[in-house]
Structure formats: C-alpha cells, structure tokens
Amino acid sequence: MSRVLFEKQGPVAIVTLNRPERLNAISGPMLDDMHDTFLRAQHDAEVKAIVLCGAGRAFCAGDDLKEFSEQTATAEGTSNYVDRIQQVTRDIMFSGKPVIGAIQGYAVGGGFEWVLNCDMVVASEDLLCFFPEMAWGQFVTGGVTHLLPRAVGYQRAMELWLLGEKQSAAALHGLGLVNRVVPKENVLSTAIELAQRISERSTFTVSRLKKMVNMQLSGQLAAALQLEADATSSAMGHEDTRRRVAGFASK
C-alpha cells in the first residue's frame, strides 16, 4: 500500500498521507514518498493548486516514535531524518503552487508544523493540534521557530511550544492559523473548492505572489531550519531525551 496517494481533480492535485492504521504518523519512507509526490505535483503542468490531507481519523499524529528512536540512534541518522522532514517544509512553502491543507482529527508535532507551512488551511471541527516536543526533551522543526512567532506573537508561540496544550479548531481560527472551520465530512470538499477557485486565477501571478512572499522569508527560514536541525541532533544525543522518547514510545 502506498504511503502517500496522488490524484487529480481537474487542475487540483490531492496529496493524501496514507498510513491510517498509524494515524499517518511520520516514518522515513513516508517522508520520501511525500517529497516524490510533491515533486510530481510541482512538475505537472495541469496542476494549479495542491490539497494536502490525511486518510482515516487523523491528518498526522507526528513522529512514529518507535521508528523515530531507530532513525535517530546516531548523529548521522538524526541529521538525515530531520533533513527529510524539513524537505517537506521546503516542498510545501517554496513551490510556485498554493498548498491548501484539509486537516482533520489530530495534527501533532511534525503534523502541526506542516499545517503551519500550508498557504491556507481548512480545519474540521474535531481538529486538535499540539506540540509534544518539549515533553520529550526534543525540538520543533519545519521552520516554525520563525513562522509561529510572526503569526501569533512571541509569548503565545512560547506558550504553545512550552506547555504543549491541545488547541481546538476554534482556538486555531481565533489565532489566525486556519482559514475555515467546517464539519469533518466537508473538510476535503471545502479545500478542493478553494483550490479550484485559486486555479481560476492567473497561474503566473499566483505563482509569482507565493514566490515573492516566501522569498522574503527564505533567508530567515533557512537559518531557522538549520538551527532546528542542530538543536534536534544535539537533543537526541542527550540521555534524558532518549529516555523520554522511549517512555512515550512504550505507551
């Protein structure tokens, strides 16, 4: 079974995380499939906009902790794993095609980071997002150390990271982190509708707008990604972090 699905509805590409039995938890092979699938969408001239969603009950439950412990057993393995996660951030943010998230259930850790990387987000009423990394003795990635304070302010961003409290769709909408909140059964159709509306705009100007906005971020975002990668690698060499991650994985 493919870990990431690709389909088209007219000018809209739908990229679906497809590990529903693991709540679409992040694995190394899934990261590789995501990168390949985004490249496919970017290079398809018929595709004008991309919808990102997850199969089953959740968008993405964050790292698959059992595999995460194996992937990060060495400094080299940690660096490689984090780079693959952050490559998806680059795929979402630095293409010329808008990415609309259709997000339901849980979006945790890396899944929450990808939500923040999207250009627009449609959330289901049951959505819950949070950052568990501080509880693991770990760090966020996805460039959110730069993106989130710009979106919600320094103190609110620190609260979201340090406390790791679950945030509802309504709370996220109030923070300006999602664009629409709809019943779960309408999440994908609403996101596709928005993507189709965007696809009716000038492809040149839409692409230019996204690249222009993100080009202003690129230097700072690249620096944030590198700092996050370094922090994650350092943390995984720390005995307390490995103990915490192993404890969460055993649960």
CATH number of the domain enclosing 17:
3.90.226.10
Residue-range definition of the domain harbouring residue 112: 4-199
Instruction: Look at residue 68 and tell me whether its pLDDT is greater than 70.
Output: no
Confidence of residue 79 (pLDDT cuts 50, 70, 90): confident
Give me the mean pLDDT over the 102-117 stretch: 97
- The total number of structural domains that make up the chain: 1
d(CA 51, CA 92): 10
Give me the mean pLDDT over the 211-219 stretch: 80
Whether residue 133 contacts residue 84, with contact meaning beta carbons closer than 8 Å, is answered with no
246 belongs to a structural domain? no
241 belongs to a structural domain? no
Confidence of residue 240 (pLDDT cuts 50, 70, 90): low
- Residue 92: the pLDDT is 96
d(CA 191, CA 232): 33
Give me the mean pLDDT over the 49-61 stretch: 97
- Determine the 3-state secondary structure of 77 from DSSP: helix
Confidence of residue 114 (pLDDT cuts 50, 70, 90): very high
237 belongs to a structural domain? no
230 belongs to a structural domain? no
Structure tokens at 46: 């018929």
- Residue 230: the pLDDT is 87
Structure tokens at 204: 């040149």
- Global pTM value: 0.92
- Residue 64: the pLDDT is 86
Q: Of 159-168, 215-224, 230-239, where does mean pLDDT reach its minimum? A: 230-239
Alpha-helix runs per DSSP H in 44-181: 65-71, 75-93, 110-117, 133-136, 144-152, 154-163, 169-174
Angle at 17 between CA 16 and CA 22, to 5 degrees: 145
42 belongs to a structural domain? yes
- Residue whose tokens read 């080009």: 215
d(CA 111, CA 131): 9
pLDDT in tens, 191-205: 999 999 999 999 999
Structure tokens at 236: 């995984």
The HSE-up count of residue 44 (CA atoms within 13 Å, CB side) is: 20
pLDDT in tens, 19-29: 999 999 999 99
88 belongs to a structural domain? yes
123 belongs to a structural domain? yes
126 belongs to a structural domain? yes
